[in-house]
Amino acid sequence: MARIVFQLDVDAPAEDVVRALDTQAGIAGWWTDDVDFAGGAGSTMTLGFPIAPLPFELHVDEVNNTIVRWTSVGEFPPHWADTTVTWTLTPTGDGAGTTIHFSHDGWASDDGPLATAALTWAQLMLSLKQFSETGAGSPLFRRA
């Protein structure tokens, strides 16, 4: 199985990062403004993207101040089927911020769409950092 992995430090407490990852306003602030999401473990978020013919659906498996885990449950995109996205949050070395360790696991192979997804996640990580630090972001994807 292939995976995408990133790590970066954010000048914000874990609680702010969790709000960005587990609220509709948070997701809309850094990822896509086409989101339907109640938040919390057990919920499912539905994400729309201008270039995608169908929405993405992610089930929230776990959420607290140290981990947020989602599983792809929709039929689209097919290469995300049964993959998991995990955000592990730890205090930075100086304790002033949060280190985010990101992984998107369960890809069938490293061929095809994995490279494009990795590039997109890299851009999204920077957008998440900006949103977590400032509370104001610009989602990478916007409705037309």
3-state secondary structure of 6: strand
Q: 44 with 57: CB under 8 angstroms?
A: yes
Per-residue pLDDT reduced to its tens digit, 3-24: 999 999 999 999 999 999 999 9
Residue 76 domain-assigned?
Answer: yes
Asked if residue 36 belongs to a domain, the reply is yes
The Cα–Cα gap between 98 and 81 comes to 29
Whole-prediction pTM? 0.93
The CATH number given to whatever domain includes residue 109 is: 3.30.530.20
Q: Determine, yes or no, domain membership for 139.
A: no
User: Is 142 a domain residue?
Assistant: no
Residue 143 belongs to some domain of the structure: no
> Which of 106, 104, 130 shows the shortest CA–CA distance to 1?
106
pLDDT tens figures, 61-118: 999 999 999 999 988 999 999 999 999 999 999 989 999 999 999 999 888 899 999 9
Q: Which residue has the tokens 């959420």?
A: 63
CA distance 17 to 135: 10
Q: Which domain holds residue 99?
A: 2-134
The two tokens of residue 60 are 């929230």
What does the pLDDT read at residue 33? 94
Q: From residue 1, how far is each of 86, 108, 110, 118, 121 by CA, in Å?
A: 15, 5, 8, 15, 18
3-state secondary structure (DSSP) of residue 63:
strand
- Asked whether residue 144 is domain-assigned, the answer is no
When divided into structural domains, the chain yields a total of 1
Structural domain includes residue 41: yes
User: Looking at the domain assignment, is residue 22 inside a domain?
Assistant: yes
For 53-79, give one letter per residue: b (16+ CB within 10 A) or e.
Answer: eebbbbbbeebeeebbbbbbebeebeb
